[in-house]
Chain A
Amino acid sequence: SQQGEEDPQALSIQEGENATMNCSYKTSINNLQWYRQNSGRGLVHLILIRSNEREKHSGRLRVTLDTSKKSSSLLITASRAADTASYFCATSGNTPLVFGKGTRLSVIA
C-alpha cells in the first residue's frame, strides 16, 4: 500500500508557535500532497511536492520530502487559531491518491 501515515496523531500548540507534522509512506511515489480538513467540511488541497523536489514553500507552509527515507514533513509557521484542522498527506504513484489517518492540530488563542 502507498498509504501515508501521519505523525503525531494530535498536536496542540499556542497561537504564534510553529507546527510540524510528519508523513511516512511505503512505496515509490510520483508526488505527495498535503490537505487540510476543517470540522464538517471536505478536504482542501494545500501543497503538492513532486518526487524530484526536496522542499517547497507556500505562504506560511513549508513541505520537505525525503524519498530515501520515504517521509515528508509539513511545517506551519506562526500558527493561527484558524489553522485548527486535521491535516492529511496523500501519496500517488500509479494508483489514485491514498490518504493517511491525519494529524489533528489545535491552535489555542
Chain B
Amino acid sequence: EAGVAQSPRYKIIEKRQSVAFWCNPISGHATLYWYQQILGQGPKLLIQFQNNGVVDDSQLPKDRFSAERLKGVDSTLKIQPAKLEDSAVYLCASRHYRGRDNSPLHFGNGTRLTVT
C-alpha cells in the first residue's frame, strides 16, 4: 500500500509570510493527524480529523494556524503569518479508525519549515 504523502519536502520563508502544507493519507484511513516536531523534541499534536470533522484542535494556535480536510481525504495545514518559532518539521499521520482501539499511526516524511 502507498504510504502517507506530504509536500513540499522543504520550505523556507520569511517571518510574516504564509505557507501551506499538503497531506494525502493512506487510502481508507479515516483519521488524520498533523504534528509539529521541533528539533530535538517529540511530535506535538496540532489537530486530529475524523473523516472531514475536527476531533481535537486544542493545541492548534488558531490565531495563525488553520487546517482543513474538505472531502475527508487530503488535508492542508496553513500558517499565516509565520513566526520564527514555527520553524519545525510538520508531520502528517493517518490511521484506520477502529473505535477506541488506537491502532498504529502511519507517518509521512514531513515538511521541514524554516522561517527566517
Task: Collect the chain B residues with CB atoms within 8 Å of residue A31's CB.
Answer: 102
A99 to B40, CA, bound (A): 13
Residues of A in contact (CB 8 Å), total 22
A residues less than 8 Å from B56 (CB atoms): 95-96
Using a Cβ–Cβ cut-off of 8 Å, how many residues does chain B contribute to the interface with A? 25
Q: Which of A30, A42, A48 contacts B110 (CB 8 A)?
A: A42
Q: Is B106 an interface residue (CB 8 A)?
A: yes
Kindly state the separation between the CA atoms of A33 and B106 in the bound complex, as whole angstroms.
Answer: 12
Please state if B41 and A43 are interface contacts (CB–CB under 8 Å). no
Is A44 among interface residues, defined by CB-CB distance under 8 A? yes
Contact in complex: A41, B104 (CB < 8 Å): no
Mark interface residues in B74-116 (1 if CB within 8 Å of A CB, else 0): 0000000000000000010100000010111111111010000
Chain A residues with CB below 8 A from B106, complex form:
45
Which residues of B sit under 8 angstroms from A43, Cβ to Cβ?
Answer: 43, 91, 93, 105, 107
Which residues of A lie under 8 Å from residue B42 when comparing CB positions?
Answer: 88, 99-102
Say whether B73 faces chain A, with CB atoms less than 8 Å apart.
no
A79 at the interface (CB under 8 A from B): no
Please determine whether A42 and B102 come into contact, CB atoms closer than 8 angstroms. Answer: no
Shortest CB distance B102–A (Å): 4
Q: Which residues of A contact B55 (CB under 8 A)?
A: 96
The 4 nearest A-B residue pairs measured at CB: A42-B107, A45-B104, A99-B42, A92-B102
A–B Cβ pairs within 8 angstroms, 8 of them: A33-B104, A40-B109, A41-B110, A42-B4, A96-B33, A97-B45, A98-B45, A101-B42
